[in-house]
Amino acid sequence: MAFFQKFLQKINGDDSTRGVKVGPGETAYFGTVKPDPNFNAQNDAEKLKKAIETKGVDEATIVEVLAKRSNAQRQQIKEAFQNNTGKPLADALKKALKSDFEEVVLALLMTPPEYDAFEIRRATKGLGTKESVLSEILGTRSNKEITALNRSFKETYGELLEDIIKKETSGDLEKTLVALCKGTRSEDYNIDDGLAKSDAKSLFEAGENRIGTVCSVFIDVLTSRSEAQLCKIFKFYGQYSKDGLAKDLAGELHGSLEDCLMVLVKAAWNKPALFAEKLNHAMKGLGTNTDTLTRIIVSRSEIDLLKIIQEYKRMYGKTLQEQILKETSGDYEKILLALCGTQ
């Protein structure tokens, strides 16, 4: 599978904290958005009120406030705005803004679980289902994040996420997404070499070494083992197949199921590189997939966007910010760059 081989060559199989300096006694933080040390929710709420009421709307102030505050601080701003005006901040901004800039601003006002739930709802609502969005979110979140997502989805939309997945998908893809949706995947950093060897052999026997593919074996292993354990399995798999698991998967599977399982494989190797690849794909060719661009930059801004930016430069020889400048414009461009840590 050429694109995955290139992916591995670009990342060198390394998911380290390379390029990020951490001082003595400091805890590594890979987000680009940090809490404002001089934060005052009342002042920010008042600034936003004035920005919204200004003739023509003061978008620069909206960017300066919302893109330079942590999500927890934005929740306090929302509460202060509601108390001061009697109106939800999101509603006021929705009336004042438009297009992709509005989408980013409203996304920033949601908590991470609310935003994940919103994106999954949008991906499954109406005609057609965007399976790639489901795979991206469920395949890259921790158990804690998935538990919070399930709770938020039920509270916001009155339905169980698992029921929506069963309704909107089918077959082996449904089984994979439902397994991920349960949020019970191992997160143990301790590696079991014996189990890894056994799993590697089972994967080979279920796919490359037989006519037809036993998808259930791939689904069970890839959705239950920890990312550290999966990396060990991939290495042992090389003892059975000269092509490697990724290429064999491409030969055995196709479509949405292949895409979903490849998310799990790539996320195990190097999650920031996976997101860098998705961002590059969103801005490649004619047109820009602003939904993907917004979702990844907003959702990773307090997790690992700094590492994603580093991987993007390493993999594509240009900065993410340079590509954003090339592919976007106006206030949408400005708020994305602000979230990337560009002043």
Which domains are assigned to the chain? 120-181 (1.10.220.10)
Torsional class of 317: left (φ above 0), alpha (ψ -120 to 50), beta (otherwise) = left
pTM tops 0.85: yes
- Which residues of the chain have a pLDDT value below 70? 1-27, 209-212, 343
DSSP three-state, residue 120: helix
* Angle at alpha carbon of residue 307, lines to 233 and 264, rounded to 5°: 30
Tell me how crowded residue 221 is: count the other CB atoms within 10 A of its CB.
Answer: 22
Tell me how crowded residue 87 is: count the other CB atoms within 10 A of its CB.
Answer: 12
Q: How many residues does the chain have?
A: 343
**pLDDT at 212 (0 to 100):** 61
Our CA dihedral for 158, 160, 164, 165, rounded to 10 degrees, sits at 160
Q: Which residues of 175-195 are buried (b: 16+ CB within 10 A; e: fewer)?
A: bbbbbbbebebeeeeebbeee
**pLDDT at 126 (0 to 100):** 83
Distance of CA 36 to the CA centre of its chain: 24
Per-residue pLDDT tens digits for 269-322? 999 999 999 999 999 988 899 999 999 999 999 999 999 999 999 999 999 999
Half-sphere exposure of 275 (CA within 13 A, CB side): 26
**pLDDT at 7 (0 to 100):** 55
Q: What is the DSSP letter of 28?
A: P
DSSP three-state, residue 252: helix
**pLDDT at 285 (0 to 100):** 83
**pLDDT at 19 (0 to 100):** 43
**pLDDT at 243 (0 to 100):** 85
Nearest-angstrom CA–CA distance, 130 and 105: 23
Helices (H), 125-244: 131-140, 143-157, 161-168, 171-181, 193-206, 215-224, 227-237
Tell me how crowded residue 213 is: count the other CB atoms within 10 A of its CB.
Answer: 18
Half-sphere exposure of 253 (CA within 13 A, CB side): 26
**pLDDT at 152 (0 to 100):** 98
Amino acid letter for position 287: G
**pLDDT at 35 (0 to 100):** 97
**pLDDT at 13 (0 to 100):** 40
Nearest-angstrom CA–CA distance, 106 and 127: 24
Nearest to 325 by CA among 342, 305, 307: 342
